[in-house]
Structure 1
Amino acid sequence: MRILTISNTPHDPSQGSGYVITGFAEGLRECGHTVDAYGPDDWAWTDIQRGRRYLFPIMIATFAFWHCRPENYDLVELWGGPTWLLAICLQWLYPKLSLVHHSNGIEQHRVVVQQETPVAGVQNERWFQRDFSWLYDRGLHAADAIVTVSTYDVPFLIDREFVPRERVYTIENPLPDFFLGQTVQYERPKRIGFCGNWIPIKNTQLLRDDVPSFLRQYPDWTFSVVGIGDTDVKADFPDDVHSQIEVIPFLERKELVDWYHSLAIFTLPSIYESFGMVMTEAMACGATLVATRVGFASGLSHGDNAYLLTEKKSSHLERALTALTDNDERRRRIARRGYERVQELRWDDAVSSLEEIYTRLL
């Protein structure tokens, strides 16, 4: 197959989306297919900080037609909502060309989830940011198939009928090989971890509400926050629990793996996640996952391989942490089952599944 891949995010393997896009492109090449992959470094006219929602679709479509000649490919794979204009043009000009939307998250679904959440501060975009969901919808309607990274977006896609139900596929993001087969011990320090941006969509309000009361109840436990850059996280918590809160702005990969191994519990109570790689990384290192039913966690089983919150508001997180703290045998059992679950996330299996889907479409 000759495949043209165009994405709205950089092809940087050290970043979440870039890691997935480049991993699939390299995997398909190793299977003997030709994959020409382009990202913002190729199609962006300049490094713009404002107006990206307006300019990126034009830049992407212009680049594709001036530099790529889509008609020379068997299949075009588009990543990201801003590819909507290119998708519409391709459907109109080359109706026989196979077109796939490979998603690292459905933007329209995220908007709906934000609007429906009872959590304050995440419902609306900034006043100058228009909701382009209707244009992203047009782009998805132009696709022949949609591939998601978790089951979380699938009901939304089926309900909107962008493509036939049987052409909505899910391939979970694989883990890097070094995360697989880790030797783990389930007797852990009394430590809860969070990794990621300290922003409202991660439901930091729930962490601010529930973690302090848990720490007061269990003074021998600590809460460790990683990957937040220069954000002053401790300022969001009462002074009396500051001694139990650890803030680490950044960790290199080896240090991050060691940090995961030091956690009894890893929590990600997000409002929305397309996948949430940090969940699978933590599980691969033997931490018990406490999460909302979003992204990868939407496909897990409560009480079996994860502890899933029924709601995204206080005091559901505190109850979950307390339940696992008071029953360490249960915590260790869930951690073992979670570890087993993520061993399935292998690149060779994911690439083989994608190759099969694309072959079927031709």
Structure 2
Amino acid sequence: MNKQKRVLVLSNMYPGAKSSTFGIFVKNQVQALREHGAKVDVVAVSDPDMNKPNVLKKYLKWAAETMFSFLFKGRRYDVVHAHYVFPTGMLALLFKKWFKTRMVVTAHGGDINRMAKKSERIKQWTAKILEEADHVITVGHDLYREIHEKYHIPEEKLSVINMGVNLEVFQPHEVSEARQVLGIKVGERPIVFVGNIIREKGILDLLEAYKILKKEQENLSLYLIGNPKLESFKLEVEEYIRQHQLTDVHLSPAVPQAEVAIWMSAADVFVLPSHMEGFGLVAVEAMACGTPVVGARVGGLQTLLENDHGVLVEAEDPNSLARGIRKVIENEDYRKQLIKAGRKRALENDQELLIEKVFEIYENKVIEDEKK
């Protein structure tokens, strides 16, 4: 297989000066592509700030940078790979229409489950981009089915390939050592969340569930690791913590992936109570670190955690979430079962295996087994 492809990656999420974790999964894939021989250029939005005055500015800058690549480098690319259907796919269409560049789009979930539902116009653009793409990658099976059934994209143009977990970074650390490094007290039982501090991640549901559990077990603590997109929501979270006197809840900014692996290893349980989730890669990363996962029954998490690879709970239901966490922290045998099954699941989603499938898409080879 010829891997000397010239690829342009377009993304509305990518790490930059303001956040080293914003769209880190896209950067990880770019690095893996380069390590396997592809020549990859990236034009992306690297500012996570979603306050209205900033949004227009950053997207105009992104569009201008894309036009520069289009005018001066457009003919060079074999593939243009858009992450997120809308708006990224609109920019990718320029290269396909003008230079006949092979166009691959990765749908991550929010683009279909949230963005496409904002207006009829965006839904129409989403449909056009999916139809025009030479191939559409989805990060989860539910997303695959939705795009196939609601947008009528034929199966031969669709594949399920998640972003993959870097097993060199995400691996188990000895629990007591990890907790010592992080300053977690002996006897403390930490619950950990890693992700954007936004409402859609179920942060308020988690706080409510923690409030229930804290009445039962004094030694519990909760660590929320991530950056807010909106300052107003961060203030809402802080007010909830103050109002309910949840003194053992700790808000920490996003940290590099190597440190994320330490946090995950230190946790008694990793929790992902999202209201929607395309795949839930962060849950696989926790599994790779040997940590049991409790996640909401949404999107890709339903498949990822089924059959006791993790604990599935009802979305937007703090009581169900509390029951799921309680099930893990009170049953040591069940914990061990989850850890073993979770590690196996992580190995199935090794980034090194999945990047080969991305190259097959670039080479126009349909992947049948991933659709089942």
Using structure 2 for the length normalisation, give the TM-score. 0.77
Q: Paired residue for 1:169, among 159, 163, 166?
A: 159
- Does the 8 A contact of 2:11 with 2:82 survive in 1? yes
The one-letter code sitting in structure 2 at the alignment partner of 1:15 is T
CA deviation profile, 1:114-134 (whole Å, cap 9, x unmatched): x7xxxxxxxxx7xxx997333
What's the offset of the Cα at 1:266?
0.9
**1:110 aligned onto 2:114:** yes
What's the offset of the Cα at 1:27?
3.3
The one-letter code sitting in structure 2 at the alignment partner of 1:236 is Y
Corresponding residue for residue 350 of structure 2: 346
> Residue 139 and residue 8 in structure 1: after superposition, are their counterparts in 2 closer, same or farther (change >3 A)?
same
Corresponding residue for residue 15 of structure 1: 21
- Does the 8 A contact of 1:152 with 1:294 survive in 2? no
Q: Structure 1 CA distance, aligned partners of 2:245 and 2:336?
A: 26
Describe how 1:33-112 pairs up with structure 2 within 5 A: 33-40=38-45, 49-51=54-56, 55=60, 58-59=63-64, 62-70=67-75, 72-80=76-84, 81-94=86-99, 97-111=101-115
What's the offset of the Cα at 1:55?
4.0
CA deviation profile, 1:25-48 (whole Å, cap 9, x unmatched): 34334444443333348xxxxxx7
**1:356 aligned onto 2:346:** no
Q: Paired residue for 1:304, among 295, 305, 308?
A: 308
CA deviation profile, 1:145-197 (whole Å, cap 9, x unmatched): 111223342122112235312221122222234335535569x9532112223
Corresponding residue for residue 205 of structure 2: 206
Q: Structure 2 CA distance, aligned partners of 1:55 and 1:179?
A: 35
SS at match of 2:164: coil
Corresponding residue for residue 189 of structure 2: 190
Cα root mean square deviation, aligned = 3.5
> Residue 169 and residue 314 in structure 1: after superposition, are their counterparts in 2 closer, same or farther (change >3 A)?
same
Where does structure 1 lack aligned partners over 5 or more consecutive residues?
A: 42-47, 116-124
What's the offset of the Cα at 1:144?
1.4
What's the offset of the Cα at 1:289?
0.4
Corresponding residue for residue 140 of structure 1: 130
Q: Structure 1 CA distance, aligned partners of 2:281 and 2:325?
A: 21
What's the offset of the Cα at 1:99?
1.3
- Does the 8 A contact of 2:45 with 2:62 survive in 1? no
Q: Structure 1 CA distance, aligned partners of 2:74 and 2:189?
A: 57
What's the offset of the Cα at 1:251?
4.2
- Does the 8 A contact of 1:100 with 1:143 survive in 2? yes
SS at match of 2:87: helix
Q: Structure 1 CA distance, aligned partners of 2:209 and 2:141?
A: 28
Q: Structure 2 CA distance, aligned partners of 1:361 and 1:60?
A: 31
SS at match of 1:147: strand
> Residue 185 and residue 295 in structure 1: after superposition, are their counterparts in 2 closer, same or farther (change >3 A)?
farther
Q: Structure 2 CA distance, aligned partners of 1:54 and 1:333?
A: 46
How many matched pairs? 339
Corresponding residue for residue 49 of structure 2: none
> Residue 85 and residue 61 in structure 1: after superposition, are their counterparts in 2 closer, same or farther (change >3 A)?
farther
Corresponding residue for residue 248 of structure 1: 252
What's the offset of the Cα at 1:8?
2.6
What's the offset of the Cα at 1:7?
2.5
Q: Structure 1 CA distance, aligned partners of 2:70 and 2:255?
A: 41
- Does the 8 A contact of 1:215 with 1:244 survive in 2? no
Describe how 1:116-155 pairs up with structure 2 within 5 A: 132-155=122-145
Q: Structure 2 CA distance, aligned partners of 1:73 and 1:244?
A: 52
- Does the 8 A contact of 1:140 with 1:162 survive in 2? no
Where does structure 2 lack aligned partners over 5 or more consecutive residues?
A: 47-52, 177-186, 367-372
Q: Structure 2 CA distance, aligned partners of 1:130 and 1:300?
A: 32
- Does the 8 A contact of 1:3 with 1:36 survive in 2? yes
SS at match of 2:54: coil
Describe how 1:227-238 pairs up with structure 2 within 5 A: 227-228=226-227, 231=234, 233-237=237-241
User: What is the percent sequence identity of the aligned residues?
Assistant: 23
What's the offset of the Cα at 1:141?
1.9
SS at match of 1:219: coil
